[in-house]
Structure 1
Amino acid sequence: MTQSVSTLVILGASGDLTSRLLLPAIGQLLTDQPERAFTLIGASSDALDDDTWRARVRESFATVEAKGAAVDRLLKETRYVEADATSAHDLQALLSGVEGVPALYFALPPAITAKACDALGTFDLPAGLTLALEKPFGTDRESAIRLNERLARLVPEDQIHRVDHFLGRSSVLNILGLRFANSILEPLWDGLHIQRVDILYDETLALEGRARYYDTAGALMDMIQSHLLQVMSVLGMEPPSTLGARDLRDAKGLVLRATRVWDDDPVTASRRARYAAGEIEGRKLPAYADEEGVDPSRQTETLAEVTLQIDTWRWKGVPFTLRSGKALGSRRREMVVTFAPAQHVPSGLTGTTEPAKLRLLFAPDALSLEVNINGTDDPFGLERASLTADFGPGALLAYGEVLEGILDGDPSLSVRADTAVECWRIVEPVLAAWREGRVPLEEYPAGSEGPDGWAGLG
C-alpha cells in the first residue's frame, strides 16, 4: 500500500449513497488495513454538527462491524462542514482547511457535480487533488465529452476516478485470473469456439423509492450503458501485459472502440419493457407507471436488452447480449459463455448434446462449468453435469476496492475519459430508436420472467 491521499472529503455526505455504501466501505477498509490513516470530512448543505456526523459514521461502520485502532482514530477526528457544493466560496474555504493531499468524492447528482466542477475552476486547487464522481458520466455522448473537458481543466486524467463499483466486484476481477492464468481456457476464448455471450442482471427488486433518478434513466442507462458494458470489456479484452492502470484500461478501451449494435440495427437488436401490476414473494406491486414519482409519459423501461458485436478477429460473429431488469420473478446476476457445440457426436451416444456453458455469477461470486458426461446407469447416455467453484465474498466490499484505489492514487478500477464517451456512443443508436418509437415498449407482470415471446438467455 502506498497511500497518496491524506484527506477524503465527501460532498453530499448527508445522502443515502454516503451512509449506505461509502461509509460502510471505509469502515471495512480500515478494519482490513489497520495501517491506513487519513482524515474524513463530510460536507453538504444540511445543517449538521460534528457530533451528529460522527454518530452517522459510527452507525454506518456498525453495519460491517468495523473495529480497530484505525477505525477509532478516524471516528475521533472526522468532522463535518456545512457547504454548498456549487459555491466557489464554500469549496475554496473547505479545501483551504484540508491538510495534505485531498480527494473530493462527489456523492451528488450529475447536474450538481457538473456545477461543482465549474466552481472549482474559479480558484487555485491544492496540489495533487483527486476527484471522484459517480455515474452516469453525462447523459449522452456530447455531454460526456463536455464533462471530460471540465474535469481536464482541473486535474490530470490519472487523478480523476469515474466510479463504477462493478469494476470493484471480485467476480469481475476474477475474470482476469480465470482467463489469463489458465492455458486450457484462453485458447478457446474466441469466435471459433464460443457461440454467444450473455451478461444478465435481473432483479426481483422494483423501484423501491428511486423514481427521482430511475424515471429519467431507465434500465438501459442505469445498468447496461455503464456497468454491463464495463463487464463486457473485461470479458472481451486482449491479454494485458500487467494489471497496472494503463495496460488494463487500454485493453478495455480497445474492446469498447470496436463495439457496435448488432448489424447496426437497433430495432431488431434491442428490446424494452416495463412492469405491470403483479406480485413478488407475496408482496403486491403496482404497475411501474403507477409508482409514486413516475411520469408515465416518459415511457421509461424497467427491462432492457441489447445485442452487440465486437469487430475484432477474436470476436467476429459472436453476439454479446446485455440484459437488465427490475421486478422480475427470479434474481439472475451472471455472465454466461456458451461454447460452440461439438462438431460431431459419435453414433451410439444418446441424450443431451447441449453446448458447454461457463457461468460466472455475481453475488454470490461463483463459477459453474456445465458439460455433457456419460450417465452413471447408462454409459451410452449423455447427461448434464456442473463443475462448480466458490470465489468467496472477497476481502472488501465493491466500494471498498474503489476507495482503496482512490486513496492510493490507482485509477485501475475507474472509467477513463475516452471509455466513458465510447459507452454512450455504443448505446446512442438504441436510445434514438426508442425515442422515435421504432422499438415498442412492452409490458410484463411484476414477478414474471418478462414479456411473453422473449427468448430466454443464458
Structure 2
Amino acid sequence: MTTLLPPAGALDIVIFGGTGDLSFRKLLPALYMAHLHEKLSADARIIAIGRQDWTHDEYLAFIDSHSPAFIDASAFSASDWQHFLARLTYVSMDVMQGDDYARLKTLCSQPALRVFYLATAPSLFTQICARLSDAGLVDAQARVVLEKPLGTDLASARAINTEVARYFGEHQIYRIDHYLGKETVQNLMVLRFGNAIYEPLWRAPYIRSVQITVAETVGVGSRAGFYDGAGAMRDMVQNHLLQLLCIVAMEPPISLDADDVRDEKLKVLRSLRKMDLADIKRDTVRGQYTAGASEGAAVKGYLQEDDVPAGSRTETFVALRAHIDNTRWANVPFFLRTGKRMQQRQSQIIIEFADQPFSIFGTAASHEPNRLIISLQPEESIHLEMMVKEPGSGMKLHPVKLGLDLQSTSDKRRAEAYERLLIDVVKGRLTHFMRRDELEAAWTWIEPILAGWKALDDKPRSYSAGTWGPAASSALMAREHLSWFEEA
C-alpha cells in the first residue's frame, strides 16, 4: 500500500536518538545526500530528539563536528551543508514523559507526512509509539521506522510488534535492515529473475553449496553495553544474514509488490530445517576474539574491551550450516558466517555450482568448480569463475573470472543504503522492509539455536583478532569436502 505525500509536500522526519552514533554516522549523512540531490521537498524538516540538555546551536555544533567525516568528500560542500543544517531542529526531551510530546507537537508541521525514526533501544519502541499516539501525532499519513534488532527473542519481538500495531497499521511500519538497501542486494533480484541464463540452474542438483559471509574488522567499540546482551547471532544472523539467504533462495514472486516479495521470503524462513541439540553441536560454531592484530595495529581481545563483563561468553563470531527443506534446495547446504575482528571487511555470497558428472580432462587436470561471487562490500561486483585452457601444449586448466563491476555499468549516482531506504519510507515503498510475520519466522528458527547453546553450556571458541575465526569453522566446511572461499 502506498501513501502519497500531502498536496503541500510538507514532511517532518523525527529522529528519536538524534545524538547517537547511528544518527550522526548514517542517518544525517544519508539525509544530507538526499537533500543535495533534491530528493527532499523544499519544506522538509528534520527534528532530532535527544536526552542531552543542549540548545539548538549546541546540537548543530555537535553534528557539524561529527557527521561530515561520514560523507563522501567529493559530495561535501560547505554551502550545501549549511543549507542542510538549516533543516534541523533539536529537541531535548525525556521520551518517557508524555508532557514533552505536547511540546514536540507544536514543532511539527500541520498537516504533514511524519516519519518517526526510532534509533533507540528496542525497549523504548512501545513507550514512544504510545506517547506519540496520545499526543495526536499518529494519523493515517504517519510512518514509523524500527531499527534492528527487534527484540531479543521470539516473545519480545512479538510483544513489540503487538504494541506498535496498536498505534500504527502494518503498512505504516518499516522494520529496517540496511543490507536490503544495498545496490548489489537489490541487483540480486534482477540477476536471478531478469536473466534467463540463471533460473534453470538456480536449484539442486546444479548448485553444490551456498556461502554467505559478513565479516567485520572492527571490534565492539563503544557498543559493548548493547552487544554483550546480543552477540553475533542476534545482532547479525537473525536479520542481515537471513535476509540475504531469503533473497538467494526465494521463489520468483508474481510481482514486485511488497507483499508478493515478502510472501516468498517468508516461505524460505518457514522452510529452514529446525535444529535439535545434535544438529546444533555439529553444525554451529561460536567464537570470541582474543588480542591480536587488526589492519596492522595491535588490538585488545573481547574480554578486555570497555564495559564487557569479566568472563563473558557472548559470541563475536558465528558459523553455521543450514538446510532449506523444499524441492529447489533439497540437500544443498547453506553456510552462514559472521564475525568481528576478522581478517578483512567483506560481505560476500558465493554460489558454488556442482561438478560435471564426468570430466573428459581427467582427475590430473587442475580443476576448480564454477562459482558465482557476489560482493556486497567493500566493493560491489559480481564475478563468474569459469575454467579455461592455459596457453601451450596439453590441456591444463585454470580458473578465470568474468567480471561485472556494478559501479561502472552506469554513470548514474549510486545512493548509499540508508539514503535509498529513507526515501523508500517517504515514498511508501515497503518491499525492502521486513513484515511482521517474516521477522517472527526468523526468530522462530534462531531461538532454538540460542537455547541449544545454553543447554550445551557451549563456551565460544577463541580466535585471534585479524584471522578468519576459529579453526572449527573450517572443519565445518571440510566435513562436506568444501572450504570457505578465501581458503579455496
Q: Of residues 89, 94, 118 in structure 1, which corresponds to 2:104?
A: 94
Q: Does 1:351 find its partner at 2:365?
A: yes
Contact 2:217/2:295 (8 A) holds in 1:
no
CA distance in 1, matches of 2:316, 2:362: 47
1:11 to partner: Cα distance = 0.9
Which is worse superposed, 110-119 or 327-336? 110-119
Q: Compare 256-265 and 235-244 and name the one that shifted more.
A: 256-265
Shift of the 150–285 alpha-carbon distance from structure 1 to 2, 3 Å rule, reads same
1:69–1:204 Cα change, 3 Å: closer
Pick from 426, 429, 432: which aligns with 2:451?
432
The superposition leaves residues 28-82 of structure 1 with CA deviations (integer Å, 9 ceiling, x where unpaired) of 1122235633111111121222223334455525734355998665432421112
Distance 1:35 1:162, change over 3 A: closer
> Does 2:415 correspond to 1:415?
no
Find the aligned partners of 1:376 and 1:262 in 2 and give their Cα distance: 49
One-letter amino acid matched to 1:220: M
Q: How far apart, CA to CA, are the structure 2 residues paired with 1:377 and 1:300?
A: 54
Instruction: Look up the equivalent residue of 1:217 and give its one-letter code.
Output: A
- For residue 376 of structure 2, what is the aligned residue in structure 1? 362
Q: 1:34–1:70: 8 Å Cα contact kept in structure 2?
A: no
For normalisation by structure 1, the TM-score amounts to 0.93
Aligned to 2:479: none
Secondary structure at the residue paired with 1:256?
helix
Deviations 1:97-133 (A, max 9, x none): 3111211111111112233234345454432211111
Deviation larger for 222-231 or 116-125: 116-125
Normalising by structure 2, what TM-score? 0.88
- Deviation string 1:74-94 (CA, Å, 9 cap, x unpaired) is 432421112112222222431
Q: Residue 39 of structure 1 aligns to which amino acid in structure 2?
A: R
Greater mean alpha carbon deviation, residues 415-424 or residues 199-208: 199-208
Letter in 2 for 1:324: T
**Cα distance 1:254–1:450, how it changes in 2: closer, same or farther (>3 A)?**
same
* Partner residue in 1 for 2:477: none
State the alpha-carbon separation in 2 of the partners of residues 263 and 146 from structure 1: 26
1:457 aligns with 2:457: no
Indicate the residue corresponding to 2:391 in structure 1: 376
Q: Which moved more, 1:310-319 or 1:44-53?
A: 44-53
**Is the 2:319–2:335 contact (alpha carbons within 8 Å) kept by the matching residues of 1?**
yes
1:53 partnered with 2:59: yes
Distance change in 2, residues 1:126/1:262 (3 Å): closer
Q: Name the aligned partner's letter for residue 401 of structure 2.
A: S
Contact map agreement 2:285 2:472 (CA 8 A) in 1 = no
Identity of aligned residues (%): 32
Give the structure 2 partner of residue 336 of structure 1: 350
Residue 193 (1) aligns with residue 203 (2): no
**1:400 and 2:440 equivalent?**
no
Opposite residue 402 of structure 2, the aligned amino acid is L
Structure 2 equivalent of residue 441 of structure 1 = 460
1:427 to 1:375, Cα distance in 2 relative to 1, 3 A = same
Separation in structure 2 between the aligned mates of residue 240 and residue 70 of structure 1, nearest angstrom: 41
Task: Quote the Cα distance in structure 2 between the aligned partners of 1:440 and 1:191.
Answer: 35
Q: Which moved more, 1:425-434 or 1:59-68?
A: 59-68
After TM superposition, list the pairs within 5 Å mapping 1:41-440 onto structure 2. Answer: 41-58=47-64, 60=67, 63-64=71-72, 65-66=75-76, 74-99=84-109, 100-127=112-139, 128-261=141-274, 265-347=279-361, 350-363=364-377, 364-392=379-407, 395-440=414-459
Kept after mapping to 1: 8 A contact 2:32/2:84: no
Take 1:147 and 1:297, find their aligned partners in 2: how far apart are those partners? Answer: 31
Q: How far does the alpha carbon of each residue in 1:192-230 deviate from its partner, in whole angstroms, 9 at most, with x for none?
A: 211111100122222223211111111111111111101
One-letter amino acid of the counterpart of residue 426, structure 1: W
Are the counterparts in 2 of residues 166 and 227 from structure 1 also a CA contact under 8 Å? yes
User: Structure 1: where are the runs of 5+ without partners?
Assistant: none
Q: 1:70 to 1:92 in 2, by over 3 A?
A: farther
Say which SS state the counterpart of residue 230 (structure 1) adopts.
helix
Q: Secondary structure at the match of 2:221?
A: coil
Q: Secondary structure at the match of 1:153?
A: coil
Quickly say closer, same or farther: Cα 1:304–1:171, change in 2 above 3 A: same
The more displaced of 79-88 and 31-40 is 31-40
- Are the aligned partners of 2:269 and 2:442 in contact in 1 as well (CA < 8 Å)? yes
SS in 2 for 1:232: helix
